[in-house]
Amino acid sequence: MSRLKRALVALAALAVAFVLTLGGGALWLYSDAEVSTAGAVFTRELAVPPLAESRVDSDGTRVFDLTMQAGETEFRTGMKTPTWGFNGDHLGPTLRAKRGEKVGVRIRNTLGEESTVHWHGMHLPARMDGGPHQMVAPGGTWTPRWTVDQPAATLWYHPHPHGSTEKHVQRGLAGMFLLDDATSARLPLPKKYGVDDLPVVVQDVRFDGEKFDHGHRFMANSGFLGDRTMVNGTLDPYKEVGDELVRLRLLNASTARVYHFGFSDDRRFSLVGTDGGLLEKAVAMDRVQLSPGERAEIVVRMEPGERTVLRSHPQKNYGDFWQTRFNGGDDTFDVLELRAAKSLRPSPPVPATLGELELPDGSDSARTRFFGLRMSGINGRPMAMDRIDETVTRGTAETWTVRNEDGVPHNFHVHDVQFRVLAVDGRRPPPELRGAKDTAFVPGGTTVKLAMRFTGPADPDTPYMYHCHLLAHEDRGMMGQFVVVEKGQRAGTVRTAPSHAGH
């Protein structure tokens, strides 16, 4: 062979080797991207967050105390992980109040950095919302007050500091806020907290030695994805139950992961509630999908002595092939094992009719708005703290169309209101989107149409947020601001409340 020929052959061999390595690498990355904890062994008893204590003020306000604090948590025997919590080392107590009640929460920030506490799903004045304009300084306090004026529901609370929400939630700042009303009190649904009515706060985690690993996985553009899940801060949790019917209040408190809940034996359950409260009618289902921030209340029937596992199954509507694989759409998690006692207390059947939806149906919308979702921002603009993007008139209903424009998994959350999902890609939404919602999944290629009513109060200077609840996206600016004004009034200048140090 000539010198040239030999050189060409060597070059070709190199090229082949290069392509093979690349291909092999891609294949390895692709198959490595799938995570499954199916078949997990459940070794720890599920922790149930305590109900927060409260006192009633002279003016009838129910007042809670929440202290944001740093600590450490022994998720695994002998290993202490640095964590944050409310009134404890990790997560927070369950707050509970009734419709019509005046509530106040005295928040103390003992962390080394500023943060906020937002009431996700709550209808309340913008100044009390706990968004990025209501920062609480280190060592500071903040005491929002409002009157609960919405149906019974499973809401939650978490920090909302612009740019670092993912980190604050991941470290453990999250808790449930349950609302009750006359309907929920009357209905014979399971309601013994921690017994047959269980808070199920689901988060995915990954550990790096003793510490949490907050790193984003290669190619995962949805944000942080863990390699295992915990419920109420318990890894590999089981719960012994003693009633025929058990109600699970599912909260996806993960920062980027979407779950597709069902059971390991594919048993059916009754879906009774969504983000903003009870459905009109219970629906028999075997799967319910929840993206970050969303909730579902389900009731599952147990036979004496049996066990079943709440499992998150792979999902079909996650966008394209690559987005699905690299953002967790193919993953499986065994989340929580339910262990039924040898004999079970009888439960009344799930009532066929539940709540009443207090939601507009789109027919009286005063106007429509469009929101295009991209990683780079909503409607082409990243969040700006001093810019009001939308101005809505108090008392009016509106229709908002939200479209995923970049194929990356997103969802859409609106503060202050609950909305009705009118359509998903022009079709009637699935049952889990037919109740009151404040957050909806908007995977690649999807358009959702939402109807909501803004009942105020008006405050032209203090905005509420709408945003993607995949927290890494929110942090980088997939968020916008709206104000509620009186008819004919214009948006003002954004006012950021100074946080108060000391008492």
* Site residues, ligand C2O (CB under 6 A): 118, 120, 158, 160, 293, 413, 415, 465, 467, 469
Cβ 379 vs Cβ 480: under 8 Å? yes
Residue number closest to ligand C2O, CB atom: 120
Which one of ligand C2O, Cu ion, none is in contact with 467 (Cβ closer than 5 to 8 A by kind)? Answer: ligand C2O
The residue type of 215 is G
**How far is it, in rounded angstroms, from Cα 194 to Cα 484?**
38
| Distance in Å, CB of 415 to Cu ion, minimum | 5
If the CB atoms of residues 193 and 466 are measured against Cu ion, the closer one turns out to be 466
- CA gyration radius for the chain? 24
Helix locations, 244-353, DSSP H: 321-326
Residue from 120, 168, 374, 420 touching Cu ion (CB under 5 A): that is: 120
Strands (E), 116-236: 118-120, 140-142, 145-147, 153-158, 175-180, 197-205, 207-208, 211-212, 228-231, 234-235
127 binds Cu ion (CB under 5 A): no
Contact positions with Cu ion (CB under 5 A) in 384-443: 410, 415
Write the DSSP assignment of 57-101 as a string of letters.
-TTSEEEEEEEEEEEEEEEETTEEEEEEEESSSSB-PBEEEETT-
| Distance in Å, CB of 436 to ligand C2O, minimum | 15
Which one of ligand C2O, Cu ion, none is in contact with 293 (Cβ closer than 5 to 8 A by kind)? Answer: ligand C2O
If the CB atoms of residues 243 and 416 are measured against ligand C2O, the closer one turns out to be 416
Both tokens of residue 423? 């359509």
* Contact region with Cu ion (CB under 5 A), list: 98-106, 169-177, 192-200, 462-470: 462-470
Beta strand pairing status for 295-301 and 245-252?
antiparallel
Residue from 105, 250, 470, 484 touching Cu ion (CB under 5 A): that is: 470
Instruction: Fill in the DSSP letter of residue 169.
Output: H
**How far is it, in rounded angstroms, from Cα 500 to Cα 277?**
34
| Distance in Å, CB of 169 to ligand C2O, minimum | 9
468 binds Cu ion (CB under 5 A): yes
473 binds Cu ion (CB under 5 A): yes
| Distance in Å, CB of 238 to ligand C2O, minimum | 29
| Distance in Å, CB of 467 to ligand C2O, minimum | 6
| Distance in Å, CB of 419 to Cu ion, minimum | 12
**How far is it, in rounded angstroms, from Cα 30 to Cα 16?**
21
Name the residues that contact Cu ion, by CB under 5 A.
120, 410, 415, 468, 470, 473
